[in-house]
Structure formats: C-alpha cells, structure tokens
Amino acid sequence: MGARDKIRKFFLEHIGEVVTTKQIRRIAGISEYARRIRELRDEEGYRIMSHNDRADLKPGEYILGSPKRNPVIARSISPQLRNEILERNGYTCQVCGAGPGDPDVTNPGRKIRLHIDHIRPISQGGRDTKDNLRVLCSMCNQGKSNIQPPSETALNIITKLRKLGRSEQLEVYEFLKRKFEIQKEM
C-alpha cells in the first residue's frame, strides 16, 4: 500500500477527529506527506481541512469532516507540453529564478525541483494551454495554491488572508472595520 493510500485510510478511520502531522508522517512512512494530502484534496476531492481553513485548528493539524468527496478537475499536461514549457522558460522558476540542481534553501540536502504551474488556476477556469502554464520551483509553487498573478482579484486576496495566522486575520479585520466605519459616517 502506497503512502497516499495509507493516509487516505487513516483519515477515513478518523473522520471528524483532529489528526497531526506527526501521526500522518508515522502512518505514511515518508516525510513528503503534505504532497499526498494535497493529492487527496485536489485529485480525489477529499475536504481535508487545516489551520488555513478552520481557525480552531493549529498549524500541523488536519481534519476530514466527511467521507463525501467534492468533484475533481482532471489534470492532463502531456509530457510533450511539459517539456515545451520547461524549454520555453529556460528550465528556471519564473518567480525566483531558481534552476534544477540549485540547492533548496529550506532543505540544504536537496536540490530544487521544478513544476509546471497554472497561472490561472484550473479551479478558477484556467486551462492546460501554453499561455496559462509556466515553470515554478517547489517553494514558489507550494506557497501559491490557487492564487493567480498578476492582478489582485478579491478571490486572490481572500485566499491569501485564509493562509494567514489568526492574529494577522484579526488585524486585517480590525483595519477594514475601521475603514468602513469611517466611510459610513461621511
């Protein structure tokens, strides 16, 4: 049984319970468990929530509220298209400029890995077309998650806010509350 299968089974056995990264790492037997969780969300439609989704969860805690799965969007970038995008972008991350073989700053023992990224996320209507694809390194791709540059849409801003800690979210809330209370009085 692969790591993803083990993690899926574990979540399904603990529906509605908070599980920790320590538990998931132990069950999966790998340190790259976060990618498997993303696959369960993105490719299988499981609503596995983290502190980015629920304020009562701490970093490193997850919960699967229901075995019901959301519809998923098929991803099918052909190897030929992948190679074409890599060549077009010079085998270089289009955000930070890192290339394959460069040391990973977050894990010095590893080298940079490149990914093909959707500029406009599929979940927001993006497609697997040349003009919507670019190369990103693991670090830049991991932090992006359904945020589309360069324009700041309300959805992008809300997505970014959800990733902030509770204190930062409250700070933004208080700022907006003050801003709109002042405008109401005018």
pLDDT per position as a tens digit, 100-159 = 888 877 767 778 888 898 888 876 778 889 999 999 887 787 755 544 444 556 655 766
pLDDT per position as a tens digit, 16-31 = 999 999 999 999 988 8
Q: Which pTM value belongs to this model?
A: 0.46
Q: What is the mean pLDDT of the segment spanning 50-72?
A: 87
| 3-69, CATH topology level | Arc Repressor Mutant, subunit A (1.10.10)
Q: Is the pLDDT of residue 11 over 90?
A: yes
Domain extent listing, the chain: 3-69, 79-144, 154-185
Token match 């993690």: residue?
7
Cα–Cα distance list, 181 to 62, 157, 170, 176, 186 (Å): 36, 21, 16, 8, 9
CB 28 within 8 A of CB 40: no
pLDDT per position as a tens digit, 86-107 = 999 988 888 888 888 888 777 6
Amino acid in the structure at residue 6: K
Is residue 179 within a helix (H) or strand (E), and if so which, with residue range? helix 166-185
Q: Is the pLDDT of residue 58 over 50?
A: yes
Q: Terminus-to-terminus CA distance in the chain, angstroms?
A: 64
Q: Which of 130, 22, 114, 29 is nearest to 81 (CA)?
A: 130
Is residue 106 within a helix (H) or strand (E), and if so which, with residue range? none
Is residue 18 within a helix (H) or strand (E), and if so which, with residue range? strand 18-20
pLDDT at residue 156, as a whole number: 59
